[in-house]
Copies of this chain bind each other. A is one copy, B any other.
């Protein structure tokens, strides 16, 4: 409870009224399809911040879509270090690959309190395959996911800590803005230093230093689980150095 004093968690109702629907796999469906999707939904589940949503390699019977909150995909290496692959925002599927493979090669944890919609994996998979527009959409999402991974690899492989942190902030900003969840000059940022570190291949200590540097430079400021933007132009510039002009999230 502690983590979300600020905001009441949304509980989803009928899929036809879903506010994040345009962001999901099901967004190409028209209203009639929404009713069918709703039929396929097996339930809704709340997960508390820090709790596990899926552990690497476990057999999957369900397909999960994040309805509210933040989560992240990661792998822990022998030795205890962790690599975070991506952060999940409302509307994201826990994993598209779940549709074609029974296990996933990463774990997923809730970063904030979360609500997920639960589907039967096989059923949904069958349903999607039977509807060509859904197949296209799923495919497209998958390739967007891949693009974000490419970008992340560029960051981690070829750019300074300063640039990486700025870039991650902008990635979050853009994805949130696309969901209407960002102000012009600030946005929610529930990640702790260790999350940032594990996503970018750094140590939490260095992440702390970089944030202070970014703040000293007037670029951005991390406060109260939000980021306040100080100098958007500079941020865009930092981002562009590794950028590719391809959208961070699905266009719709």
Residues on A lying within 8 angstroms of B by beta carbon are 56-57, 75, 77-79, 81-83, 85, 96-97, 99-101, 105-106, 129, 132, 135-136, 138-140, 142-143, 145-147, 149-150, 152-154, 156-159, 198, 200-201, 240-242, 244-246
Task: Tell me, in angstroms, the Cα distance from A132 to B126 when the chains sit together.
Answer: 10
Instruction: Say which residue of B56, B75, B242 sits within 8 Å of A154 (CB atoms).
Output: B75
Task: Tell me, in angstroms, the Cα distance from A138 to B244 when the chains sit together.
Answer: 25
Q: How many copies does the complex hold?
A: 2
A105 and B57 within 8 A (CB): no
B153 and A153 within 8 A (CB): yes
A143 and B246 within 8 A (CB): no
Contacts of A79 in B (CB 8 A): 241
A75 and B145 within 8 A (CB): no
Chain B CB count within 10 A is highest, among A57, A154, A246, for A154
Task: Tell me, in angstroms, the Cα distance from A100 to B144 when the chains sit together.
Answer: 11
